[in-house]
Amino acid sequence: MTIRRAVYPGSFDPAHYGHIDITTRAARTFDEVIVAVYDKPAKQLLFTVDERVAMLREALKDITNVRVAPFSGLLVHYVREVGAFAIVRGLRVFSDFELEFRMALANRRLAPEIDVINFIADEKHLHISSSTVREIASLGGDVSSMVPPAIEAALIAKFSDPNRDGAGTNYVVSLPD
């Protein structure tokens, strides 16, 4: 029997309940979901890839058919390498649509055998983005309704670390994510 495997790629800097919801729903749809954490996305990162992977593993540990792994390079190469046939992405607001549509068409051109499947964000999580979470946490705000407790603790630790990259300067916020 062929395993119906999907890859859910993202920066997850950090993961939040919106990501967890998409993963949970994808895990009900596919036999196996690999949550693939971009090693070096073209954006300024708060957490290292190892930290982002570890936080996601902890948050998703109860879903038995989900695996979390770092990845680098071209997404469709990774999807082929792991024997998946679908790319999962979440869609929040209309503004996500144009970018996701363009990426899906580009990926289709590169790998027509791989389909992109978009899950519409749950309305409870529509407003959550990693950049919002980082911005609120950097200012000492309460993010407990947006991220699991271990990720909230990691954010507090990160922003209170005086040796953190960028500490002492205003964290650059509202980057697209």
Which parts of this chain interact with ligand ADP (CB under 6 A)? 10-12, 18-19, 22, 41, 89-90, 92, 96, 121, 125, 128-130, 177
Q: Which of 92, 125, 134, 158 is catalytic?
A: 92
Set 5, 16, 19, 134: catalytic member: 19
Is residue 43 flagged as an active site residue?
yes
Q: Supply the minimum distance, in Å, between the C-beta of residue 100 and ligand ADP.
A: 7
19 annotated active-site? yes
Using the minimum distance from each CB to ligand ADP, give the nearer residue, 121 or 137: 121
Residue 92 is a catalytic residue: yes
Q: Is 98 helix (H, G, I), strand (E, B) or coil?
A: helix
Does residue 129 carry a catalytic annotation?
no
Task: Please say which residue, 19 or 134, places its beta carbon nearer to ligand ADP.
Answer: 19
Residue with Cβ nearer ligand ADP (1 or 7): 7
Q: Toward ligand ADP, which CB reaches closer, 39 or 96? A: 96
Catalytic residue among 25, 43, 57, 67: 43
What are the contacts of 78-85 at 24+ separation with CB within 8 A?
78/7, 78/9, 78/36, 79/7, 79/111, 79/114, 80/111, 80/114, 82/5, 82/7, 82/34, 83/3, 83/5, 84/5, 84/6, 84/7, 84/34, 84/114, 85/4, 85/5, 85/6, 85/113, 85/114, 85/115
Helices (H) and strands (E) in the chain, counts: 6, 5
Active site residues: 19, 43, 92, 130
